[in-house]
């Protein structure tokens, strides 16, 4: 029998943050399992999911943490951020308020996380283009000012989801290797 155990070179913890209902859990479902659900209940209890991928011939296990509904109560704890090397800061491009809250989430993140954390700003639900409430330029400007990566995604249509996670994971790899 051969050894089928995969050797893991790196484990990268990445946290999802942002208001409730912006699509964090569906982005994770899309990335980790290529699944999507239109009537996803508020996340309960799930801590993280993993996906193993290859970067530069190294095996990287991405451990993606989801907020388990705590976003409603501003109760994301420091344990959630501890050890995170990447963060996805998610708003719903059809909900202006969820974008306006990004500054607060970023402040919270920067207060808890490592200095070198790689952050991606994500405008999700790009499939609902006719309902857009956040111009791409506004988000680009914010991302540039705050030194964040930025991408618009659709968990529903699987647009840019892999690219967004892969960009963050590759940048983390670049920094630590």
Binding site for ligand GDP (CB under 6 A): 20-26, 37-40, 43, 124-125, 127-128, 154-156
CB of 125 to Mg ion, least distance (A): 14
Contact flag: residue 26 with Mg ion (CB under 5 A): no
List 15, 19, 43, 122, residue binding Mg ion (CB under 5 A) = 43
- Residue closer to ligand GDP, measured from CB, 23 or 60: 23
Measured in whole angstroms, the distance separating CA 153 from the mean position of its chain's CA atoms is: 11
By a kind-dependent CB cut-off of 5 to 8 A, residue 128 interacts, out of Mg ion, ligand GDP, none, with: ligand GDP
Residue nearest to ligand GDP (CB): 23
By a kind-dependent CB cut-off of 5 to 8 A, residue 137 interacts, out of Mg ion, ligand GDP, none, with: none
Helix (H, G, I), strand (E, B) or coil at 30: helix
- Residue closer to Mg ion, measured from CB, 25 or 94: 25
List the one residue out of 72, 110, 88, 111 whose CA is nearest residue 160.
88
- Residue closer to Mg ion, measured from CB, 24 or 125: 24
CB of 26 to Mg ion, least distance (A): 8
Q: Who's near 148: CB < 8 A, 6+ residues apart?
A: 89, 106, 119, 120, 121, 142
Q: Who's near 150: CB < 8 A, 6+ residues apart?
A: 120, 121, 122, 123, 139, 140, 143, 144
List the interface residues with Mg ion, window 142-161 (CB under 5 A).
none
Q: Cα(174)–Cα(177) distance, rounded to whole angstroms?
A: 6
- Residue closer to Mg ion, measured from CB, 43 or 160: 43
Q: Who's near 145: CB < 8 A, 6+ residues apart?
A: none
List contacts with Mg ion (CB under 5 A).
24-25, 43
């Amino acid at each position: 029998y051969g050894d089928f155990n995969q050797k893991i070179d790196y484990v990268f913890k990445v946290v999802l943050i942002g208001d409730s209902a912006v699509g964090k859990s569906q982005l994770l479902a899309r990335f980790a399992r290529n699944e999507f659900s239109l009537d996803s209940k508020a996340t309960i209890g799930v801590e993280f999911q993993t996906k193993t991928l290859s970067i530069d011939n190294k095996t990287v296990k991405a451990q993606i943490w989801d907020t388990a509904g705590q976003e409603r109560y501003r109760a994301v704890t420091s344990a959630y951020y501890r050890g995170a090397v990447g963060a996805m800061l998610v708003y719903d491009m059809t909900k202006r308020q969820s974008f306006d809250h990004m500054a607060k989430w970023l402040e919270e993140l920067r207060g808890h996380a490592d200095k070198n954390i790689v952050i991606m700003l994500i405008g999700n639900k790009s499939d609902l283009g006719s309902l857009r409430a956040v111009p791409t330029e506004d988000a680009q400007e914010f991302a540039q000012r705050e030194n964040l990566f930025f991408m618009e995604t659709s968990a529903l249509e699987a647009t840019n989801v892999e690219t967004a996670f892969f960009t963050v994971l590759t940048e983390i790899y670049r920094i630590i290797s």
